[in-house]
Structure 1
Amino acid sequence: VIGFHLPFSNRLLAAGLGLKRSFAPNAWIIVQPDNQVIFKVTKSEMGQGVWTSLPMILAEEMDLDWSTIKIEQALESEGTGGSRSIRGLWKPLRKAGATAKDMLLEAAAQEWKVEKSDCVAENGMINHKPTGKKFKYGELAIAASKLSLPGKVLLKNPSDFKLIGTDALRKDTPLKVNGQAQFAMDVHLEGMVYAFVVRCPIFGGTLKSMDTRKAMAINGVLNIFEVSNGI
């Protein structure tokens, strides 16, 4: 599952039964009243840059301020491989971003009681061209959460891209530099022990014998035993 829509989620949000005071038009995006946009990444970041490239696709169509995007790792469906992240999510993320932007434009038009065609989205804000009035996306979160999803949205012409194709700052770099990023090696459970396999240095070789006395004498060593391709 790369994304889904809960058909009554906007009504639940409006009734205060969902993510209170936030705008969540689909499974990827949450626009908060403080203007921060949470993006749920459904792929694992393994150095290939999906914490940056996937949000860029969404941000492009949504006309977001790149600095307002916060990344959260989705807890399910994180299968990643085969260089399929961009290929598989290119169109769905573009549609998700365009849909969210359309709803924010509609919310602004209703608030101002103007034509939506007179409103334009740019850098995380909705501008009313005739008057110069502006709304931050976050200021429209509650109003947008009460709207129904649009039937069809237009995607940008690639010639109009402003973010895609640029050298955007990677979203995962600060966490890896300051030590906040959590890796498998950071997992520590009660009673946890560590193991490693010593293999034969010659391909196809098998164990003939082993003397474990010195190794077992080391403090903390619990056991040494043979496995199919080593010890």
Structure 2
Amino acid sequence: MRVVIGEDSVLLREGLVRLLNTSGFEVLAALGDAETTLTAVEEHQPDLVVIDVRMPPSFTDEGLRAALVIRRQWPSIAVLVLSQYVEEQFASELLSGNTRGVGYLLKDRVADVGEFLAALRRVAEGGTALDPEVVAQILVRRRSAPLDRLTPREQEVLALMAEGRSNSAIAGALFITDSAVGKHVNNIFAKLGLPPADNDHRRVLAVLQYLNERPK
């Protein structure tokens, strides 16, 4: 099992290298930032990438953004994200498309080495490994975005979307520009917790949520 590791903490990175090399994995590269990790992935084409969320230079979400790049450019490569915290928006995006070969684990939950190695193998073989806290926070985020978070104009736009109207038709009905409609639609997607994804029909999902939650 060929692995590339992206982790800025030297102690954790070296610990992972030693653990994996002695557990039947082959660590091809272990890097401390997202950019060089992506370069190593492109060069080695590993079976699995283990990557931290917060990496240099800003220590915000570079690793998770790199994970999304890997999923888009090399969908056959499995990705296991390690994080100290749950980044709901990007976690949602990572899990909104094809979840084959995807994992998201919190570092403080990885206490059992056997379970961690089992999760690595499961992800590398095309399965998933999701920390319960990750799943819980994504569900809470989805539930905390009801229709009443939309402005009156956004609710009008969504109601017309539910009628099957295009952006141009909505613009004509509300006497606004196509550009204004586009901005309202993007705001609706954001407030309903529908991040971009290659195979995600956000317009359909927004309409379904509208039909489910609107007053009867």
Normalising by the smaller structure, the TM-score range is under 0.3
Instruction: Name the TM-score, length of structure 2 as normaliser.
Output: 0.24
Higher relative contact order (CA 8 A, sep 6+): 1
Q: Which of the two has greater helix per residue?
A: 2
Instruction: Name the TM-score, length of structure 1 as normaliser.
Output: 0.23
